[in-house]
């Protein structure tokens, strides 16, 4: 019954429009798997090097920038840590020193995982293709084993009535392409191989996160940041690189969308979107300057990436503040970009307060992206009161009302485009002292999904927002990038100590009840 399972506040499947899609989301790199026996054997020969090689070569997969990043030595102290721990904990960039060589081994267990989705009554699965499995060197020779693998995954999903929503780029760029790019050729290979069955493509996951975390903060691969921080990361020019990276992402999507529309749309009839990461921002005070800062924070996050697709250029605020460091679109590029999104994917988790801040002197000197915004955003108000209950991650505060406001913002700014919530969810900590039975009691997660979905539902029914689907992050606990295994977002608990067994948390039953309600 819904009161115990799905939507305590009366949320039912029938309250969403006909055809509204419910799914879970994941990314190849976070759930991947390797042939473990091979890894164990080679470890005894050379603890660092060969394990790494063994992991990347399974079924012809090539190395990616996240393999490199997660296996890179960090600072001095981390170097000593790596000398004294076993080789699965050899990196210095990830908070628990882990890497995703095995993660949750979905590569070998996809049949089981598809059944878990089917048990919940899910309509769709958003997963990503590992570019390095299709084209191990990023370009050139296609790896048939990779094509075969994804054919099996797609067919397994369809046989259970689950639609594949496929992300082409969820951050695991083939290492060979760190300094160049051949996204169009890779995308076309996927359209040719899978486009008869895949009708929703997410070309790029969170280009804003990649630009800022990968090329400004240095916390994500390829780990580039300002020259002053070079002890911690690879030095780059954080005043220009994030903007160049962003520009290339936008052009890459537009190019691929153009190819798809010209060569594949007529026969395959699919749609292409991007998954944008979007925090909702509330002004910290009601002063005009903070209200303006709040608008700016959103323009530097969603506007930076979405405005070019709707208006043909970056927001005027960005042109003014970033000035000559912000690349320009030629007239032809602007024409290619404008209108190139069939739907807007939104990864939304949390809300922050924003205030004006133009005194970030170091940031100004470095021209970093945060200083460019002239804002500061925090999950606390000016008296230090948190904006909502905290999940595990230090950035994840639970503010369900942000979902409805964000949907209305997108509707008004971009004139009611079709939207999919491509990610939404919360994490628990990986507390080794908690029993599995306790970890399965995730009432906080149930409330999170219930309350965010209630707001999403209201945005559709009461405000007329065109939202077509919702993907919970994530099906399984998995390897959470810089947070490694310290954070558990799954609806299913994964026992990392016992053969990666999956256990349903209570939220699985909640989704099952919601999806079977009328």
Single out the catalytic residue among 206, 241, 333, 480.
Answer: 206
Instruction: Provide the terminal-to-terminal Cα distance of the chain, rounded to the nearest Å.
Output: 11
Candidate list 15, 90, 98, 205; residue touching ligand BGP; CB under 6 A:
205
Judged by CB under 6 A, the number of residues near ligand BGP is 15
- Give the strand pairing for 351-356 and 375-378: antiparallel
CA-wise closest residue to 483 among 68, 86, 147, 94? 94
The residue among 103 and 336 lying less far from ligand BGP, judged by its C-beta, is 103
Q: In this chain, which residue has its C-beta nearest to ligand BGP?
A: 480
Q: Which parts of 312-371 interact with ligand BGP (CB under 6 A)?
A: 347
Stretch that binds ligand BGP, among 112-120, 204-212, 226-234, 289-297 (CB under 6 A): 204-212
Name every residue whose Cβ is closer than 8 Å to that of residue 140 and which is 6 or more positions away in sequence: none
Look up 462 and say whether it is catalytic: no
In 10 A of CB 288, how many CB atoms? 10
Stretch that binds ligand BGP, among 195-203, 246-254, 326-334, 475-483 (CB under 6 A): 475-483
Under DSSP, is residue 476 helix (H, G, I), strand (E, B) or coil?
A: strand
Phi, psi (rounded to 5 degrees) for 152:
-65, -40
Candidate list 480, 488, 492, 502; residue touching ligand BGP; CB under 6 A:
480
The residue among 366 and 483 lying less far from ligand BGP, judged by its C-beta, is 483
DSSP letter assigned to residue 386? B
**Distance (Å, whole) CA 19 – CA 476:** 25
**Distance (Å, whole) CA 211 – CA 61:** 25
Candidate list 127, 473, 492, 511; residue touching ligand BGP; CB under 6 A:
473
Question: Minimum distance between the CB of residue 121 and ligand BGP, rounded to whole angstroms?
Answer: 23
Single out the catalytic residue among 299, 333, 423, 480.
Answer: 423
Phi, psi (rounded to 5 degrees) for 399:
-135, 80
CA-wise closest residue to 327 among 304, 299, 296? 304
Q: Using the rule CB under 6 A, is 477 a contact of ligand BGP? A: no
Candidate list 24, 369, 487, 507; residue touching ligand BGP; CB under 6 A:
487
**Distance (Å, whole) CA 296 – CA 311:** 17
Q: Using the rule CB under 6 A, is 106 a contact of ligand BGP? A: no
The residue among 205 and 268 lying less far from ligand BGP, judged by its C-beta, is 205
Q: Which parts of 408-467 interact with ligand BGP (CB under 6 A)?
A: 423
DSSP letter assigned to residue 441? -
Question: Minimum distance between the CB of residue 337 and ligand BGP, rounded to whole angstroms?
Answer: 22
- In residues, how long is the chain? 518
Look up 206 and say whether it is catalytic: yes
In 10 A of CB 390, how many CB atoms? 15
Q: Using the rule CB under 6 A, is 277 a contact of ligand BGP? A: yes
Q: Using the rule CB under 6 A, is 483 a contact of ligand BGP? A: yes
The DSSP annotation for 495-507 comes to: ETTTTTEEEE-HH
The answer to whether 85 and 97 have CB atoms below 8 angstroms apart is: yes
Residues 234-273 vs ligand BGP: string with x where CB under 6 A? Answer: ----------------------------------------
Q: Which parts of 378-397 interact with ligand BGP (CB under 6 A)?
A: 393
Q: Which parts of 26-55 interact with ligand BGP (CB under 6 A)?
A: 27, 30
The residue among 27 and 129 lying less far from ligand BGP, judged by its C-beta, is 27
The answer to whether 251 and 335 have CB atoms below 8 angstroms apart is: no
Binding site for ligand BGP (CB under 6 A): 27, 30, 205-206, 209, 277, 347, 393, 423, 473, 480-481, 483, 487, 489
Instruction: Provide the annotated active-site residues.
Output: 206, 423
């Amino acid at each position: 019954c819904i009161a115990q399972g799905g939507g305590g506040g009366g949320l039912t499947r029938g309250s969403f429009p006909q055809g509204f899609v419910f799914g879970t989301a994941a990314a190849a790199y976070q759930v991947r798997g390797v042939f473990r026996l091979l890894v164990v054997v080679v470890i005894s020969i050379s603890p660092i090097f060969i394990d790494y090689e063994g992991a990347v070569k399974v079924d012809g997969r090539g190395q990616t920038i996240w393999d490199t990043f997660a296996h890179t030595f960090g600072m001095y102290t981390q170097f000593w840590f790596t000398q004294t721990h076993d080789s699965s904990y050899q990196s210095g960039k990830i908070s628990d020193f882990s890497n995703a060589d095995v993660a949750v081994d979905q590569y070998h267990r996809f049949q089981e995982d598809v059944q878990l989705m089917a048990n919940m009554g899910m309509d769709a699965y958003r997963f990503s293709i590992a570019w390095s499995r299709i084209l191990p060197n990023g370009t050139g020779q296609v790896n048939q084993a990779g094509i075969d693998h994804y054919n099996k995954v797609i067919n397994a999903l369809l046989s259970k009535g689950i639609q594949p929503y496929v992300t082409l780029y969820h951050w695991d760029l083939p290492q060979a392409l760190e300094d160049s790019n051949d996204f169009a050729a890779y995308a076309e290979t996927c359209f040719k191989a899978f486009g008869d069955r895949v009708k929703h493509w997410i070309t790029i996951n969170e280009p804003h996160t990649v630009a800022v975390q990968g090329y400004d903060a240095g916390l994500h691969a390829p780990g580039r940041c300002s020259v002053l921080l070079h002890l911690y990361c690879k030095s780059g020019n954080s005043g220009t690189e994030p903007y160049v990276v962003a520009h290339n992402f936008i052009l890459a999507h537009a190019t691929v969308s153009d190819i798809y529309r010209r060569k594949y749309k007529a026969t395959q009839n699919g749609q292409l979107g991007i998954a944008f990461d979007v925090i909702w921002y509330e002004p910290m005070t009601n002063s005009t300057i903070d209200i303006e800062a709040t608008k700016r924070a959103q323009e530097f996050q969603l506007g930076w990436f979405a405005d070019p697709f709707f208006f043909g250029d970056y927001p005027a605020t960005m042109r003014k503040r970033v000035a000559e460091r912000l690349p320009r679109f030629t007239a032809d590029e602007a024409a290619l970009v404008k209108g190139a999104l069939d739907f807007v994917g939104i990864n939304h988790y949390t809300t922050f307060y924003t205030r004006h801040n133009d005194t970030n002197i170091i940031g100004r000197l470095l021209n970093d992206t945060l200083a460019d915004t002239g804002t500061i955003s925090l999950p606390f108000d000016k008296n230090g009161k948190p904006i909502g209950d905290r999940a595990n991650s230090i950035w994840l505060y639970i503010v369900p009302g942000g979902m409805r406001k964000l949907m209305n913002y997108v509707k008004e700014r971009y004139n009611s485009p079709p939207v999919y919530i491509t990610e939404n969810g919360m994490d628990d900590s990986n507390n080794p002292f908690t029993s599995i039975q306790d970890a399965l009691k995730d009432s906080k997660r149930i409330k999170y999904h219930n309350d965010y979905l209630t707001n999403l539902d209201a945005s559709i029914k009461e405000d007329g927002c065109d939202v077509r689907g919702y993907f919970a992050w994530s099906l399984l606990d998995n390897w959470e990038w810089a947070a490694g295994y310290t954070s558990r977002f799954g609806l299913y608990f994964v026992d990392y100590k016992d053969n990666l067994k999956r256990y349903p948390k209570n939220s699985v039953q909640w989704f099952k009840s919601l999806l079977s309600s009328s």
